[in-house]
């Protein structure tokens, strides 16, 4: 059974992605401002691009320090951006709408094993303010396939991020000022 470990920078919060064979996740690099602001809002340097291991939430098992898990969103409808409050490490993002979406992105920075090569690139700067994407259709198909499988099997209920249909930790919605500050830390 394939397992990938993850942990925050200080090691207080740790866990495993399992079962994860290479087909069970997609390795993405995203250059978008929202992904990068996950870091800048937590006081970290702009990473310029963010590595993300995309899989389904039932594969995420927090084995230690779960009480340090916190979540914010850039706007009232924004994705949920989860982090470890012990050392302000960005860890995951999930859609906010419903636990049945099952999608989760795990920051590659937090994964303790080597993962397969990057398959998808999003929002890659292409000059003149334009961006390009690579492999996004494939990413969408993989995401929908995982969502369908988790819904059919009932595995969608095994999420550490939702309880009774609501986020397991109440999300902090950034104020307009906090959002501006987070995005200001992201270089165009
Ligand atoms: Zn920590
Ligand atoms: Zn992004």
Q: What percent of the chain has pLDDT over 70?
A: 99
Contacts 24+ apart (CB under 8 A), 139-146: 139/26, 139/28, 139/54, 142/26, 142/54, 143/26, 143/54, 143/103, 146/24, 146/55, 146/56, 146/102, 146/103
Q: How far is the CA of 65 from the centre of ligand 1 (A)?
A: 8
pLDDT (mean) for 93-105:
92
Q: How far is the CA of 33 from the centre of ligand 2 (A)?
A: 7
Alpha-carbon distance of 75 to 174, in angstroms, equals 6
pLDDT of residue 119: 96
Q: How far is the CA of 4 from the centre of ligand 1 (A)?
A: 18
Q: How far is the CA of 155 from the centre of ligand 2 (A)?
A: 26
Neighbours of ion ligand 2 (CB under 5 A): 30, 32, 35
Q: Residue 169 corresponds to which tokens in the numbers above? A: 């930790």
Q: What is the mean pLDDT of the chain?
A: 95
- The CATH number corresponding to 4-180 among 2.40.50.140, 2.170.150.70, 2.120.10.30, 3.30.1330.10 equals 2.170.150.70
Ligand nearest to the CA of 91: 1
- pLDDT tens column, 31-71: 999 999 999 999 999 999 999 999 999 999 999 999 999 99
Q: How far is the CA of 112 from the centre of ligand 1 (A)?
A: 14
pLDDT of residue 188: 61
Ligand nearest to the CA of 65: 1
Alpha-carbon distance of 57 to 105, in angstroms, equals 9
């Amino acid at each position: 059974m394939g397992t990938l470990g993850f942990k925050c920078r200080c090691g207080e919060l740790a866990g495993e992605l399992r079962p994860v064979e290479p087909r069970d996740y997609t390795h993405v690099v995203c250059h978008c401002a929202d992904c990068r602001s996950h870091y800048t809002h937590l006081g970290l340097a702009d990473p310029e691009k963010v590595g993300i291991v995309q899989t389904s939430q039932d594969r995420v098992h927090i084995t230690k320090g779960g009480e340090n898990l916190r979540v914010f969103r850039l706007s009232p409808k924004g994705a949920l951006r989860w982090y470890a409050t012990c050392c302000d490490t960005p860890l995951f993002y999930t859609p906010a709408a419903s636990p049945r979406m099952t999608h989760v992105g795990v920051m590659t920075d937090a994964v303790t094993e080597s993962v397969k090569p990057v398959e998808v690139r999003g929002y890659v700067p292409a000059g003149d303010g334009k961006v390009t994407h690579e492999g996004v259709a494939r990413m969408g198909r993989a995401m929908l396939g995982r969502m369908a499988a988790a819904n059919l099997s009932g595995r969608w209920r095994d999420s550490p991020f939702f309880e009774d249909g609501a986020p397991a930790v109440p999300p902090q919605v950034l104020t307009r000022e906090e959002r501006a500050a987070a995005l200001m830390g992201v270089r165009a």
